[in-house]
Amino acid sequence: MAGISVVMVIGVATLTLLHGCDDATAVSVQDDVKTLKDKVSALEFQVRQLLGGNLLQARRSCSDWFRDGFVTSGNYLIDPDGLRGVSDFLVWCDMALVPPIAVIHHNKENKTLVTGFEGNGAYSHDVSYASSSQRIRALMARSGPCHQQLKYQCYGSVIRPSVNGSGTLSYWIANGQKVTSYWPGGNALLGGCACYQTKSCAGGKKCNCDMNDAVWREDSGPVTDKDVLPITGFRIGDTGDASEKVYITLGPLMCEN
Ligand SMILES: [Ca+2]
Ligand SMILES: [Ca+2]
C-alpha cells in the first residue's frame, strides 16, 4: 500500500507541476528536447562514420550523401544510375555549396606552356579523366548544370576559328570530334571566342588571340553544353617562332549534383 501511495503522490505532484507550468517554461523545455535530439543525431552520425558501413554503400549523387548527414567535402562513392548502367565510382563532392558540386579531375589541370609547334593543330594536348566517359556521362545525366573552365593565354599565336575548320590554327576536342567553329567561352551558333558574343574582341576580330601580335592576350571562358563535355583535348598551332607562346589552363569538370 505504501508503494502505491508514493506513486500516487508523485503523480499528483507531477500533474500539479505541469499544470502550474507557464508557457515560457514549456517553450524552454521544448528547446531543451530539440537540443538533445540534435545531439543524438550528431552522435548517431559519428557512430555511422566510425562503423564505416554506410560509407561503403554508394548514393546516386552528392546531394543524397549530404541528405544522409555527410556534410564534409570529400570523395564519395556515387552510382548515378542506380542498379543499372555504370558501376559506382569515387567522386569529389564539394559540400560547401548548395547544391553540392561534383568535381571530376583530370591529369592536366596545371598551367601548360605550348611553344615550338607551327602547323594547324600541330601540338596535341590530351586530357585524361579520373573516371571513364560512360561514368561521367551518367553523372552529368543526373546533374544540374555542368561546366568546365578554360584559361587560354596567347602571345603571337592565333586561334582563328572557322565553321568548316579551314585555316583554323588551334581547336579543341569534344566527344572525339574536332571543334573548330568556336572556342570555350564562345557561342556554338555564333562562333568565335567569349569576346565575340559582345563584339568586344581586340581589333574587331572573333577572338582576342586573332590579333596575332606581340602582346599577351587571353580568350578564356566556360563550356556549359553537356553534349560537348568533358573537353578531352586541344590541338594548338602557330607557336613555331621563338617568340610565339600559349598557356593552357583547363579546370576540372564541375556539376551541380
Ligand atoms: Ca549503376
Ligand atoms: Ca603567329
pLDDT tens per residue, range 80-129: 999 999 999 999 999 999 999 999 999 999 999 999 999 999 999 999 99
CA 180 to ligand 2 centroid distance, Å:
18
Range scoring the smallest mean pLDDT among 13-27, 59-73, 84-98, 100-114: 13-27
Statement: residue 20 has pLDDT above 70: no
**Contact indicator for 114, 93 with CB cutoff of 8 Å:** no
Radius of gyration (Cα) for the chain, nearest Å? 29
CA 59 to ligand 1 centroid distance, Å:
10
Tell me the pLDDT tens digit for each residue of 180-199.
999 999 999 999 999 999 99
Question: Which has more confidence, 119 or 11?
Answer: 119
Mean pLDDT of the chain: 88
Closest by Cα among 180, 167, 85 to 134 = 85
Q: Which residues surround ligand 2, an ion (CB under 5 A)?
A: 156, 212, 238
Ligand with an atom nearest the CA of residue 240? 2
- What are the angstrom distances between the C-alpha of 8 and each of 14, 16, 216? 10, 12, 89
Statement: residue 26 has pLDDT above 80: no
Q: Which residues surround ligand 1, an ion (CB under 5 A)?
A: 79, 81, 85-86
Q: What are the residues whose beta carbons fall under 8 Å from the beta carbon of 17, sequence distance 6 or more? A: none
Closest by Cα among 156, 190, 191 to 171 = 191
**Contact indicator for 155, 214 with CB cutoff of 8 Å:** yes
Residue 17 pLDDT? 43
CA 239 to ligand 2 centroid distance, Å:
7
This prediction's pTM = 0.78
CB atoms within 10 A of CB 122: 17
> Residues 161-188, buried b or exposed e (16+ Cβ, 10 A)?
bbeeeeebbbbbbbeeeebbbbbbbbee
- 12-21, long-range: CB within 8 Å, 24+ apart, which pairs? none
CA 106 to ligand 1 centroid distance, Å:
22
CA 137 to ligand 2 centroid distance, Å:
37
CA 93 to ligand 1 centroid distance, Å:
18
Residue 48 pLDDT? 60
Statement: residue 16 has pLDDT above 80: no
CA 210 to ligand 2 centroid distance, Å:
9
Statement: residue 6 has pLDDT above 50: no
What's the CA gap between 216 and 230, in Å, rounded?
27
Closest by Cα among 178, 243, 183 to 210 = 183
What's the CA gap between 106 and 240, in Å, rounded?
27
Ligand with an atom nearest the CA of residue 78? 1
Given pLDDT bands bounded at 50, 70 and 90, which one contains residue 36? confident
What's the CA gap between 178 and 19, in Å, rounded?
79
Ligand with an atom nearest the CA of residue 141? 1
Ligand with an atom nearest the CA of residue 154? 2
CA 251 to ligand 2 centroid distance, Å:
26
Ligand with an atom nearest the CA of residue 79? 1
CA 57 to ligand 1 centroid distance, Å:
12
Residue 25 pLDDT? 77
Statement: residue 51 has pLDDT above 60: no
Question: Which has more confidence, 3 or 167?
Answer: 167
CA 248 to ligand 1 centroid distance, Å:
34
Can you tell me the mean pLDDT for 158-162?
92
CA 169 to ligand 2 centroid distance, Å:
10
Question: Which has more confidence, 29 or 110?
Answer: 110
φ/ψ of 249, rounded to 5, equals -130, 105
Given pLDDT bands bounded at 50, 70 and 90, which one contains residue 28? confident
One-letter identity of residue 26: A
What share of the chain has pLDDT > 90, as a percent? 73
What share of the chain has pLDDT > 70, as a percent? 87
φ/ψ of 15, rounded to 5, equals -60, -45
* Sole residue written with cell 615550338: 116
